[in-house]
């Protein structure tokens, strides 16, 4: 059986978890904090990042590598990539835009937006310059028909549902404006659509439990 390792607060962990659930693949979960220096973790994920999975054949890290493995290793489960090679590549193209050109850029704001830290003015200015251009490019590719790649749920939606709201919330917090919405990406109906899927509801519920646990642990005693 596959073991999914990581934390339910991680959007990339939840991307893989949603794919596993949608495909109906049996798996267990192991809570592993990111950037662990434990040798057992580094032997599976050399940078200590989550998520990673353990399989009977060995470990795999990097969420898209894991997602592609699941598609190849479990062909008799519901497919999350089109059979046509070009259409499958278009789904992966969308994933690259969501993760590399939107989420990874917005991630530079997370320390201040979500974790009580500070981000330099230079970083804020750079993100404010780069992200709108990337959002405009993403808008050219995304179909929202009603799913990111068209009329069927794909791996692009596993990535989009967990990451687009973070981009919107981080920019709203830092700049006072949701840059996704300002760029013409009407992401809220899409997020609601995906969020109504039973497996997405489970992912969201587990994430909420983990978030509440962390908040409780951070409260002063007494």
CB neighbour burial string for 127-153, b if at least 16 within 10 angstroms, e if fewer? beeebeebbeebeeebebeebbbbeeb
Q: How far is CA 186 from CA 32, 39, 95, 181, in A?
A: 34, 43, 18, 6
With a cut of 80, say whether residue 218 has pLDDT above it. Answer: no
Contact 115, 165 (CB under 8 A): no
pLDDT digits (tens, 9 = 90+) for 170-196: 999 999 999 999 999 999 999 999 999
Helix or strand (DSSP H, E) at 144: none
Q: Which of 123, 68, 127 is nearest to 103 (CA)?
A: 127
Total residue count of the chain as it appears in this document: 222
The CATH number corresponding to 85-218 among 3.40.50.12160, 3.40.640.10, 1.20.1050.10, 1.10.3470.10 equals: 1.20.1050.10
pLDDT at residue number 221: 61
Arch. (CATH architecture) of 2-73: 3-Layer(aba) Sandwich (3.40)
Q: How far is CA 39 from CA 10, 43, 48, 209, in A?
A: 21, 6, 9, 28
Per-residue pLDDT averaged across 122-139, rounded? Answer: 98
Instruction: Give yes or no on whether 2-73 and 85-218 have one common fold.
Output: no
Residues 135, 114: Cα–Cα separation, whole Å: 21
pLDDT at residue number 114: 95
Q: Which pLDDT band, with edges at 50, 70 and 90, does 213 fall under?
A: confident
Residues 162, 99: Cα–Cα separation, whole Å: 10
DSSP 31-88: E--TT---HHHHTTSTT--S-EEEETTEEEESHHHHHHHHHHH-TTSPPSS-SSHHHH
Per-residue pLDDT averaged across 42-62, rounded? Answer: 97
Task: Establish how many alpha carbons lie within 13 A of residue 205's alpha carbon, considering only the half-sphere containing its beta carbon.
Answer: 7
Both tokens of 65, joined, read 């590598």
Both tokens of 190, joined, read 């899409």
Residues 83, 177: Cα–Cα separation, whole Å: 39
Per-residue pLDDT averaged across 128-153, rounded? Answer: 98
Taking the domains of the chain in order of start, what are their residue ranges? 2-73, 85-218
What pTM did the predictor assign? 0.96
Average pLDDT, the chain: 96
Task: Establish how many alpha carbons lie within 13 A of residue 179's alpha carbon, considering only the half-sphere containing its beta carbon.
Answer: 24
pLDDT at residue number 204: 98
With a cut of 90, say whether residue 20 has pLDDT above it. Answer: yes
pLDDT at residue number 16: 98
């Amino acid at each position: 059986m596959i073991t999914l390792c990581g934390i339910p607060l991680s959007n990339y962990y939840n991307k893989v978890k949603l794919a596993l659930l949608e495909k109906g693949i049996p798996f267990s979960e192991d809570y592993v904090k990111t950037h662990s220096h434990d040798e057992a973790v580094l032997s599976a994920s050399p940078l200590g990042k989550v998520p990673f999975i353990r399989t009977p054949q060995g470990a795999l890290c990097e969420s898209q590598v894991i997602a592609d493995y699941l598609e190849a290793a479990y062909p008799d489960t519901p497919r999350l990539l089109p059979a046509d090679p070009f259409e499958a590549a278009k789904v992966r193209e969308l994933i690259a835009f969501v993760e590399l050109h939107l989420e990874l850029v917005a991630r530079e704001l997370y320390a201040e937006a979500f974790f009580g830290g500070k981000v330099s003015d230079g970083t804020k200015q750079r993100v404010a310059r780069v992200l709108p251009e990337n959002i405009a490019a993403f808008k050219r590719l995304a179909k929202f028909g009603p799913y990111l790649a068209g009329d069927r749920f794909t791996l692009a939606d596993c990535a989009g549902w967990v990451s687009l709201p973070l981009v919107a919330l981080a920019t709203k917090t830092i700049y006072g404006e949701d840059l996704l919405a300002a760029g013409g990406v009407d992401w809220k109906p899409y997020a609601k659509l995906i969020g109504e899927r039973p497996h997405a509801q489970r992912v969201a519920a587990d994430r909420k439990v983990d978030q509440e646990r962390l908040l409780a642990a951070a409260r002063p005693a007494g």
